Amino acid sequence: MRYNLATIRFRLPTRKRGGTIWADAHQSVAMALLFEFAVQRYGRERLPDLLAQMRRPITWQTLIPAVFNVLVEEFEAGWRGWLGEEYGL
């Protein structure tokens, strides 16, 4: 499965009627990988701001530039490249 920002929700996964365990697990893994990438690439000091921004209604298109000072496309391309290098995904 390819990871991308469009498939990651801003909240912890919850089981919904008709949902599957895989969908919840996929969300959790994708978010963990995104956090791992962000910390490695941009530094642990940005993590508190990332978490704070995620607590409010916001989109990736707004959050990424606000927290990491890069375009969302640049962030996602870096993340996808990192996923390939680190995990072969």
Q: What residue ranges of the chain have pLDDT lower than 50?
A: 12-14, 21-22
Query: Residue 12's pLDDT is what?
Result: 45
At 46 the pLDDT is 95
Domain boundaries defined on the chain: 14-87
Q: Give me the pLDDT at residue 62, please.
A: 92
Q: Note the pTM of the prediction, 2 decimals.
A: 0.76
> Residue 64: its pLDDT value, please?
94
Counting beta carbons within 10 angstroms of the beta carbon of residue 20, is it exposed (0 to 12), middle (13 to 18) or buried (19 or more)? exposed
Residue 78's Cβ-side half-sphere holds a number of Cα atoms within 13 Å equal to 17
